[in-house]
Amino acid sequence: MDERLLDRDGRAYGMEEPHFDPILVNVGPRTPGRSILTTSRRVIEGTGQAWMRIEQGIMPNMLALPPFFGDGPSRTVTAFVPVDDTHFVTVDINRQRVGGEDIYPHTEGKPGFGPERKLWGEMDFEYHQRNPLDYEAQSAIGGIAFHSQEHLSFTDRGLGMHRKLFRQQCDIVARGGDPVGAAYTEEDRMVRVDARSWMEPARGVDKS
């Protein structure tokens, strides 16, 4: 655990510690338009430090996230493989040194979610409500929802850009063209992963 990710009371900030809200710094497509990069800035109380993170959506169905604990480049790329209209399977591709530190370390020895560190099968409806994760946000509006029923905010800009880029690629395919990411040479097969995290001084923040 990187000690710079501890607040003044020694609490760890990370995957299961939603005490602090990200500030969206920038969202933009990466040339040549194969990815959407989202940059967030989390100020850690009492340290004068900000945790910077770049998350990357890769067209058409992949995601790269920076480490949940500590700094450095992404060590995991996730592919979402459709099963039918409302179900999919996730496949994680992890990069880890033999005998190295776990990609998902647990701060108190017990894995789980929320303050009681419950496993998924132990979480009842109320616990899901009080400790929401990605699943709750994704499934709360139903399997297939009308976009008109959504209430998107500034922090959802990346979602809108991803949808727009996906529609553009559908139109290209409908006209007989190749979507972004189509590779016919070994050079074109490479996908650059820009997702990473790092610490920097939080300007204008009290360090006391």
Render pLDDT for 2-15 as a digit per residue (tens, 0 to 9).
444 444 444 444 43
Residue-wise pLDDT for 156-184, tens only, equals 787 888 888 889 889 999 999 998 888 88
For the chain, the domains span 3-176+191-201
Q: Sign (positive/negative) of CA torsion 8, 12, 13, 18?
A: negative
pTM beyond cutoff 0.85: no
Ordered DSSP codes for 28-93 = EEETTTTEEEEEEEEEETTTTEEEEEEEEEETTTEEEE--SSSSEE--EEEEEEE-SSS-EEEEEE
